[in-house]
Amino acid sequence: MKVLVIEDDKEIVDAISLAFQIRWPEAKVVSTRLGQKGVDLVETESPDIVIIDLGLPDINGFEVLRQIRRFSNVPTIILTVRSDEVDVVKGLEWGADDYITKPFRQLELLARVKSLIRRHTPSEAELLTYGPLRLDPVTGQLHVGEKEIALTVTENHILSHLMRNAGHVVTHSALAESVWGDDYPGATDSLKVHISRLREKVEGDPSKPRFILTKTGVGYFLTKPD
Ligand code: CA
């Protein structure tokens, strides 16, 4: 288990390192204060999870995410300052799997990391198929007909859940519980962002979805296009 921390605030890096040292000593923490170096380390160190601060001295956290997502679906958590909802939404849009607001408690950090790692290694290895969609939930590789698409951990989890319940409406709270193990305040908004990223990848015209449909005020359901 290797954790990469991209953060320029030494106190935060120390707090994260200490949290792992105490509560998850097998985990190795690697850190850098520079965004560009962080992107390089994702490639050379192959971390199991990456924690990214949004405000960095060279390139910002969104740019770091964008560059990582060009070649990797490693689980990512962004660090934001409390109440910065716009940053959270933007981070999720750029491919972050989850977020933690600063200041955070050790247990909260570890819980988020563990939930994300657990999701990244699904126990069932069955290939999911529905209409032209074929998804390998272990790797997050999705085929839509001939087209091959790489999903992030969270996108993979959401689509897997929708595919297992294809044709039925999955409520926001059921989907949030399945993804985060908890229906937390704001989950509906986070889901909305992940769903819109999924539509960008899956749908021919994301503004007129044919696969992932919205049941307004209730949730989402997967359907076969005619
Ligand atoms: Ca910073």
3-state class (DSSP) for residue 70: coil
Q: Are 91 and 85 in contact (CB under 8 A)?
A: no
Distance 34 CA to ligand 1 centre (A): 10
Minimal CA–CA distance to 73: which of 140, 121, 169, 135? 140
Minimal CA–CA distance to 20: which of 1, 41, 6? 1
Distance 71 CA to ligand 1 centre (A): 24
Average pLDDT, the chain: 90
pLDDT of residue 83: 63
Write down all domains in the chain, each with its CATH number in brackets.
Answer: 2-120 (3.40.50.2300), 128-222 (1.10.10.10)
Residue 92: pLDDT band by 50, 70, 90 thresholds? confident
Average pLDDT over residues 148-162: 93
| Ligand 1 ion: residues within 5 Å (CB) | 8, 53, 55
pLDDT digits (tens, 9 = 90+) for 158-214: 999 999 999 899 999 999 988 887 777 788 899 999 999 999 999 989 999 999 999
pLDDT of residue 121: 66
Q: pTM of the predicted model, to two decimals?
A: 0.71
Pick from 10-19, 48-57, 95-104: least confident: 95-104
Q: How far apart are CA 50 and CA 111, in angstroms?
A: 15
